[in-house]
């Protein structure tokens, strides 16, 4: 190749259930892993949900019926974690460089079980928080406190599982002898 540039190998789909092959009208093959798709679609669902909820909250305020402060907090949390964090993690799982040496069984992507755990832990924790925090602030109880602790723990474990995968996929480039 001119200038010593190397061409990258053609994109090959994984041969397991970890990916979903989508075919664009142009005939180009687009490979998006299942977990990436799960995170991104969940993020889109939260985006729609938070915009609808925001419109309802704004309408109530315009009608002179203020909503409890905690509902506004939950609305923000659903938007930030539900939409933004889910979307960012989904795109990261899809686009971070593969590490074939570390994750040979999945052609360099990630351990499927740990990636799914990160999705379920983050989103079950988020749902628990969205349901239990308003309840706990209105009527504190040991059960409400336990649900909040569980929600926090699940969200932290979900992010830790993601971070443990992402960290291993971000590695320095090989040293170049000509530098």
Chain centroid, CA 71 distance in Å: 23
Q: Does some domain include residue 16?
A: no
Chain-wide mean pLDDT for the chain?
83
Specify the number of domains making up the chain: 1
For residues 41 and 46, what is the distance between their CA atoms, to the nearest angstrom?
9
Which pLDDT tens digit goes with each residue over 113-156? Answer: 999 999 999 999 999 999 999 888 888 889 989 999 999 999 99
Range of the domain at 112: 34-169
Q: Does some domain include residue 178?
A: no
pTM of this prediction?
0.77
Q: Does some domain include residue 6?
A: no
* 18, pLDDT greater than 90: no
Angle between helices 86-95 and 142-169 (to 10 degrees): 20
Q: Does some domain include residue 179?
A: no
């Amino acid at each position: 190749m001119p200038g010593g540039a190397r061409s990258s190998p053609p994109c090959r789909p994984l041969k397991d259930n970890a990916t979903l092959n989508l075919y664009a009208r142009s005939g180009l093959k687009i490979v998006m892993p299942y977990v990436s798709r799960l995170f991104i679609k969940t993020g889109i669902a939260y985006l729609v949900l938070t915009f609808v909820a925001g419109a309802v909250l704004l309408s109530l305020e315009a009608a002179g019926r203020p909503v409890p402060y905690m509902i506004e907090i939950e609305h923000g949390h659903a938007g930030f974690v539900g939409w933004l964090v889910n979307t960012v993690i989904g795109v990261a799982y899809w686009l971070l460089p593969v590490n074939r040496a570390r994750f040979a069984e999945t052609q360099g992507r990630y351990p499927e079980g740990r990636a799914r755990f990160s999705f379920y832990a983050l989103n079950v924790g988020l749902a628990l928080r969205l349901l239990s925090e308003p309840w706990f602030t209105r009527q504190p109880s040991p059960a409400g406190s336990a649900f909040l602790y569980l929600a926090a723990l699940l969200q932290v474990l979900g992010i830790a599982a993601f971070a443990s995968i992402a960290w291993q996929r971000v590695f320095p480039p090989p040293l170049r002898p000509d530098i």
